[in-house]
Amino acid sequence: MKSKYEVRYAASPQEVKTLNTKRLRREFLINKLMRPGSIRWVYSHYDRFITGSAVPTDKSITLESIDPLKADYFLERRELGIINVGGEGKVTVDGETYSIDYKEALYVGRGNKEVVFSSDNPDSPAKFYLNSTPAHKAFPTKKIGQNDAEVVEMGAMETANARTIRKLIVNSIVDTCQVQMGMTELKTGSVWNTMPAHVHDRRMEVYFYFEVPEDQAVCHFMGQPNETRHIWMANEQAVISPPWSIHAGSGTSSYTFIWGMAGENLDYGDMDHCKINELR
């Protein structure tokens, strides 16, 4: 099986100001994830961050290198973060098998040559959401269950942003070179995530929205704080957030999203906050 991929180049704030809706979506929206029986990738030139998915059904799927990497195997110079957003499944890393249930994570370090994805039940397949970044060092592979997560409660019902943040692949839990991943769950009645908004010029980010009801949507906000843009998103879509951009969303119902980051440092709190009443 040949992995399918596309490449996205970096865009400056000045360029983004000129984009219409169609072009904005083409540059930043990732809308072809979670296709049964395949691995799909979007290679971004923002911090060489790769966003992808693996959805095995009745057959297992093996991770393969893609041409932009110019590598003999995918993790030759990279690390990989995995979160399952589907049925129960397994990931086998160089012969060692890890059972990964719904909303559980697995970190796979640089140098592992064979990674195989499988589903326990083809009728309810695992949906492995994948983030990968360049790595300068090899760290051990580690599973992170929901009970292993660092949990933070934030927001309030009064401001419609009560939410639970689960830090899964972060340096307080697992050693990584630069990839970080976690999950934010909006509580019933709350719709705003990551508010007040912020930027972090040292890191880029990708959001993956899921548990969005079929007839509902999330409006994702991006752009410089003084000139924002928006992208309407559906279930199981992702969006690239440049280092210079805010990244926040509001849904027409409650939902969950996975955040993945890469860049200059591993400091989760490295944020430059934007005052809500100063956003434009």
Which of 13, 45, 18, 46 is closest to 202 using CA atoms? 46
Residue 270 vs residue 91, higher pLDDT: 91
Cα-based distances in Å from 166 to 2, 74, 153:
33, 27, 9
What are 44-103's pLDDT values in tens digits? 999 999 999 999 999 999 999 999 999 999 999 999 999 999 999 999 999 999 999 999
What are 165-175's pLDDT values in tens digits? 999 999 999 99
Q: What region does 37 belong to: left with phi over 0, alpha with psi -120 to 50, or beta?
A: left
pLDDT, position 161: 96
Which of 224, 216, 235, 181 is closest to 199 using CA atoms? 224
Residues 126/89, Cβ–Cβ less than 8 Å: yes
Residue 268 has pLDDT above 90, yes or no: no
pLDDT, position 280: 95
- Output the pTM of the full model: 0.97
Other residues' Cβ atoms within 10 Å of the Cβ of residue 262: 27
Mean pLDDT computed over every residue of the chain: 96
First to last CA, the chain: 46
Which domains, and CATH codes, for the chain? 4-278 (2.60.120.10)
Other residues' Cβ atoms within 10 Å of the Cβ of residue 232: 13
